[in-house]
Amino acid sequence: MAALEDLFASGHRACAGCGCSLFLKTLLNVTGPNVIITEATGCMEVISTPYPESAWKVPWIHSLFENAAPVAAGIEAALKATGRKNDTKVIAIGGDGATIDIGFGNLSGVMERGHDILYICYDNEAYMNTGIQRSGSTPYDASTTTTPAGKVSFGNQSQKKNAPAIMAAHGIPYVATTSMGYPADFAKKVRKALSIEGPKYIQVHATCTPGWGIDSALSIEILRLAVETAMYPLYEYENGEVTSVKKIKGRKPVREYLEKQKRFSHLFKMPNGDKEIEKIQQIADLNAKHFGLDVVEKAKPKEAKAE
């Protein structure tokens, strides 16, 4: 068998250990060449297309920070109007800032109107391209350049916006969260999304080496810890209902996830940091409860008493 050609070519400018560029490469391995991609302004756009170079071997367009979804809708409409739709898939990509903040309104419009596109948000949990500022998807207590930890602040004081639930509330056929820590889960969900007609939304957790302050070699391990601690639950919604969750056997304490990242390091140094870590644990506990993530060891049936 011939080696799979990388449709997202190497030589782009992403940092070592960048989970987001891994996402792009994996995505195109799943989709193959018959796609048209629109992408929002952000790290992945900037690192992949410094003119006259381009990492993209599929048709790709970038217009603005907040319009990847309606540009994709326009492409879809054009393909339909000219009978060129065939099997060509239209995929819009944005970071969490593009998706969950500035482009959220028009993304909602695209979802509500039923365009046959897949929107994928790579969620690195802040505005990385502009220097690690908070987004609506930044987790509680993360230190960013606009929510820095300081003498009287533990960092970002709001909780991550629940964008997948809002997307699911549009009644669209498919919504999923996934993680680059689990490429097989990611590939499976992308394949499934592309087999469904109509608007689809996938949010994929992906690391940013400087943004999270992590060892680039630990990228995958840390993403897995996010799932294993229930900080980033993986699930699917179909037509507004949760239809699958990735269960966790022996859920780990959030500390194990937090302690590997500089963005949370203040919690381990500041007085009362423990209390904050406890609050984050509660967020994870709620996730676990809400989605029923914990695998409950079945109690052994009681042995009949010996007569």
Ligand X SMILES: Cc1ncc(C[n+]2csc(CCOP(=O)(O)OP(=O)(O)O)c2C)c(N)n1
Q: How far is the CB of 211 from ligand SF4 (least distance, A)?
A: 5
Distance CA 137, CA 153 (A): 19
H helices of 195-258, where?
209-212, 219-228, 254-258
Q: Residue 129 interacts with ligand X (CB under 6 A)?
A: yes
Q: List all residues 6 or more positions away from 175 whose beta carbon is below 8 Å from its beta carbon.
A: 164, 167, 168, 200, 201, 202, 236, 237
Residue 9 touches which of ligand SF4, ligand X, other proteins, none (CB < 5 to 8 A by kind)? none
Is 15 one of the binding residues for ligand SF4 (CB under 6 A)? yes
Shorter beta-carbon distance to ligand SF4: residue 142 or 208: 208
229 binds ligand SF4, rule: CB under 6 A:
no
Q: Structure tokens of 176?
A: 């999923």
97 belongs to the binding site for ligand X (CB under 6 A): yes
Query: Hey, which residues does 203 pair with through a beta bridge?
Result: 121, 177
- Kindly provide the b/e burial profile for residues 59-91, where b requires at least 16 CB atoms within 10 angstroms of the residue's own CB: ebebeebbbbbbbbbbbbeebeeeeeeeeebbb
Phi, psi of 245 (to 5 degrees): -135, 150
Residues 99 and 119 sit within 8 Å (Cβ to Cβ): yes
For residue 82, state whether it binds other proteins (rule: CB under 8 A): yes
Tokens of 94: 């944005």
Residue 6 touching other proteins (CB under 8 A): no
> With contacts defined by CB under 6 A, how many residues of the chain interact with ligand SF4?
12
Q: Which does 61 bind (CB under 5 to 8 A by kind): ligand SF4, ligand X, other proteins, none?
A: other proteins
Residue from 26, 67, 143, 156 that binds other proteins (CB under 8 A)? 67
CB of 10 to ligand SF4, least distance (A): 14
DSSP character string of 98-136: IIIIITHHHHHHHHHHT-S-EEEEEE-SSBTTTTSB--T
Binding window for ligand X (CB under 6 A); candidates: 6-14, 40-48, 78-86, 191-199: 40-48
Residues engaged in binding other proteins (CB under 8 A): 33-36, 38, 45-46, 49-52, 54, 56-64, 66-67, 70-75, 77-82, 84, 88, 105-106, 108-110, 112-113
Chain residues binding ligand X by CB under 6 A are 20, 40-44, 65, 94-98, 124, 127-130, 135
